Each structure stands twice: as structure tokens, then as C-alpha cells.
Amino acid sequence: MQIRYKLWFESEKGYIFGKGAYELLKKVDELGSIRKASIEMGISYRHAWGLIREIEENLGIAVVNSVRGGSAGGKTMLTAEGKKLIERYERYMNVFEYVKEHPYIKPSLTVDMLLVESGKILLIKRKREPFKGLYALPGGFVEHGEKTEEAAKREMLEETGLKVEIERLIGVYSDPHRDPRDHTVTIVYKVRKIEGVLEGGDDASEAKFFPISALPKLAFDHREIIEDYLKQES
């Protein structure tokens, strides 16, 4: 997979300046001639002039200044505003290039919940991969703009039909290999039931209590999480 991108400037009028216009102004700055720049770029002189005039009309500034005649012949130079425009474009391009070469990949944030009643722990049967058909602690991904505590309550309600309140933090689990889909970091809470009728929903085909002493095969690192909880309780 490759990262591809295009960069252009717009105003309320729409498109103003992009890669083609940038390359044209760079060539004009280098060669001192719109005609020579158009030849090198393989476009007509008329098209080059039209592109420059469109930029100037949309921005309300002059980007080139042409000087005619003289012993050295005519010459076209970029104005100070024209130079600022290409410098600004290059500045943004450098940001894109850096991101392309140094992508900042962040782990996903999830929550898992421990609900224990009378020596039994609530588990859900996973409806989807990974670990489809295995049991796991209720949990899921934290949404953008959401507190982890809010995510825990929401996921618990969606997957089990139960409203809960947070009792305490069990721990944070961040092994990059704990989830085969991607690097996920989970925050685990012990919760207490407030109300609701137990019923599997969302990603859970069922939700039921199991004796802690007789747990089924579990997904992810959830057995390790439960063992850590039991150590805290002892």
C-alpha cells in the first residue's frame, strides 16, 4: 500500500493554485521567461499566460512582472507575492513529504469490563472475527471525543443490555500483539450492575455468567486480565 496525495489552494471561488501552477511559476522564476517555461513544461504559451492570469484574478495580486525590450531583451520575474505563494506551497508540501516518510501510527484505544456477581464473571460470546465463537470480557473501542469511562458504560449496555457504574480501574494492557487486527491498548474496569436485563447484543451473540473457577477458552489476553483481577482480590 502506498500513500498518495494532492495539494492545492482554494478560496470561496474554488481552485486557485496547485501543482501545475506551482511548477509553472518555478520555471518562470528559473528561466525568466513565460515562453521558455511553457516550452519546457510542454504546454502552449497561451495556456501558460491564461493560468497565470487566472491565479492573479482569483487572488487579487500580481504574481509575475514582465519587463520588455532593452539590450538583454524582455524578462519576466516573479513578484514578491509570487515568491511568497510558491514558498507557501513548498512549506505545505514538505509537511506532506515528512508525513509520508514518517507516518505517525497510533495504537487504538479500547475498554474491557469485569462484572463479577456471586463468584461468577460475565462474558460475551464473540459474533465476529477475530476469535469468533470464543468468549471474552465485554468491551470495545473508545470513540473519538469519548471518555474511557463513558465508553465502558456504552459498550456494556450495547453488548449485554446492562447499565453499570465504574467501581475501579483494574489495569492497562498494551502488548502490541494482544489483538491480531492491530496494536490496541485496553483500559480495564471493574463495574457494578445498576439495572437492565442480560441479553447479548451488538458484537455479542450471547452474554452469560461463568464460574470464575470454570472459565471457557477466552479471546485476546482476557484470561490474563481475570487472573490479575483475582490477585488484586486475594
Q: Which residues are catalytic?
A: 206
On whether the CB atoms of residues 111 and 140 are closer than 8 A, the answer is yes
**What is the pairing mode between strands 120-126 and 116-117?**
antiparallel
* Cis bond upstream, residue 130 (ω within 30): yes
Cell numbers found for residue 106: 497510533
Pick from 201, 167, 171, 168: nearest CA to 185: 171
CB 140, CB 150: distance < 8 Å = no
Which grid coordinates are listed for 200?
A: 447479548
